[in-house]
Amino acid sequence: MTDDHQHLQRAVALASANVAQGGRPFGAVLTLNGEVLVEAVNEIHLTQDPTAHAELLAIRAASQRVGARLEGCVIYASGQPCPMCLSAMYLCGVARVVFAASNAMAEPFGLSTAVIGQQVGLPLSEQRLPIQHLPDAAMTALYHRWKTLHDPE
């Protein structure tokens, strides 16, 4: 667990340095087998890209180095990962997540993403964002073609 504390403290230090440079208080360290693979900070202030979260940038950089599957990797984040980042972690197979500041701690500062997590957990018809499903039969054929190309028997 000492590695956990060390890597988490590095994520917090990255977040602190990012604040000093005009950014948001978010940093991430992604490790593989206990070794730091990549570090990243939230870059929304630099890129105006709302997806430029520290965790997503770390995942992108790590994937460029080791491939899209990040099994065995651990992400250390200064703040509780938002639903977008958490979804990406599930999609790429991250093994574990360790974070310092919870959504409850971030709430008074306007930095909590708990409301978004609640929204995406609702059925589509109950979410605040209107989401419409328009089925298209061509998608079934496209999915079959993809499966045939990627899962030959």
Instruction: Provide the annotated active-site residues.
Output: 55
| Euclidean distance between CA atoms 17 and 153, whole angstroms | 51
Tokens linked to 102: 């919870």
d(CA 66, CA 18): 26
Q: Which residues pair with 39 in a beta bridge?
A: 29
CB atoms within 10 A of CB 53: 26
Q: What type of residue sits at position 81?
A: P
Going by the DSSP 8-state scheme, the letter that residue 42 receives in this structure is -
* Angle at CA of residue 39, ends 84 and 16, nearest 5°: 85
